[in-house]
């Protein structure tokens, strides 16, 4: 009985990974030899990149501000307040910027992808595309994938930049830390390696969001209820995948790019 209870979820998970692998292979084939739809790509750049900027900026700024404030409360007891800028810079670029931006985009963009494609699925619009010899992966997935892997690293960089700027305001204007020392320590402890990690994580998280969200949309069924369930699963699965992947990428990338590596 116990084996049956444990075996069914395990088999469902393996089947789910298999479906994702098939979709990933189809996406790779579409990117290499499929028809390029530049108008749809530009539409997705606007939807994913441009329209996501407000939420990314606000998230990055307030995460940087609260990280600076909490860090300074601790560092003040050690008389190391000037290190606050370095703490925020490394933290935002290597960890908080990529992870939180990815989770926010999973909610905003991933859910939208799943809902839009899922609606097309249950209303048989995807079948209509096939009847017109239009491959659904080329038309629906490839433009979103290209736009996402370009936009997410840039959005993460933007979130980190605003987080670092907000931390400067909190540190120097609220806590009264010397501006010169704050800037000096931030420059000394921020390297190109931190930016490399941020961009690599952004690329990986963008791929995960598109893969999981489009899969949920393409597999939607049972009308509006199924679309709603697929949208919820897309957001939850994408967020969990980002957080889990972030741990393994952190362990790997910190071996390749140690903290403080000179650019």
Q: What is the pLDDT of residues 150-207, one digit of tens each?
A: 999 999 999 999 999 999 999 989 888 888 888 888 888 888 889 999 999 999 999 9
pLDDT band at 259 (very low <50, low <70, confident <90, very high): low
pLDDT at residue number 263: 43
pLDDT of residue 262: 45
- According to the model, what pLDDT value does residue 260 have? 55
Does residue 8 surpass a pLDDT of 80? Answer: no
* pTM more than 0.75: yes
pLDDT of 15 reads 86
Indicate if the pLDDT at residue 144 is higher than 50.
yes
**DSSP secondary structure letters along the chain:** -HHHHHHHHHHHHHHHHHHHHHHHHHHHHHHHHSPP-HHHHHHHIIIIIITTHHHHHHHHHHHHHHHHHHHHHHHGGGT-GGGHHHHHHHHIIIIIHHHHHHHHHIIIIIHHHHHHHHHHHHTTHHHHHHHTT--HIIIIIHHHHHHHHHHHHHHHHHHHHHHHHHHHIIIIIIS---HHHHHHHHHHT--HHHHHHHHHHHHHHHHHHHHHHHHHHHT--SHHHHHHHHHHHHHHHHHHHHHHHHHHHHHHHHHHS-TT---
Mean of the pLDDT values across residues 47-56?
92
Question: How much is the pLDDT for 3?
Answer: 62
**Least confident range of 3-7, 59-63, 230-234, 247-251:** 3-7
């Amino acid at each position: 009985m116990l084996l049956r209870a444990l075996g069914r979820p395990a088999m469902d998970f393996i089947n789910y990974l298999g479906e994702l692998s098939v979709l990933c292979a189809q996406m790779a084939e579409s990117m290499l030899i499929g028809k390029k739809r530049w108008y749809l790509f530009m539409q997705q750049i606007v939807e994913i990149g441009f329209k996501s900027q407000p939420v990314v900026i606000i998230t990055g700024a307030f995460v940087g501000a609260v990280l600076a404030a909490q860090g300074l409360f601790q560092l003040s007891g050690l008389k190391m307040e000037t290190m606050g800028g370095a703490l925020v810079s490394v933290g935002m670029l290597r960890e908080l910027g990529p992870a939180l931006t990815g989770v926010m985009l999973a909610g905003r963009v991933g859910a939208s992808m799943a809902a839009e494609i899922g609606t097309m699925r249950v209303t048989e619009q995807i079948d209509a595309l096939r009847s017109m010899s239009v491959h659904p992966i080329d038309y629906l997935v490839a433009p979103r994938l290209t736009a996402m892997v370009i936009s997410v690293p840039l959005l993460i960089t933007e979130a980190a930049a605003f987080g670092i700027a907000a931390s400067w305001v909190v540190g120097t204007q609220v806590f009264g830390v010397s501006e010169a020392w704050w800037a000096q320590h931030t420059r000394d402890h921020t390297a190109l390696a931190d930016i490399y990690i941020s961009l690599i994580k952004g690329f990986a998280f963008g791929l995960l969001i598109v893969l999981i969200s489009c899969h949920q949309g393409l597999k939607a069924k049972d009308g509006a209820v199924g679309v709603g369930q697929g949208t919820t699963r897309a957001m939850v699965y994408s967020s969990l995948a980002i957080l889990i992947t972030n741990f393994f990428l952190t362990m790997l990338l910190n071996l390749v790019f140690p903290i403080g590596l000179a650019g």
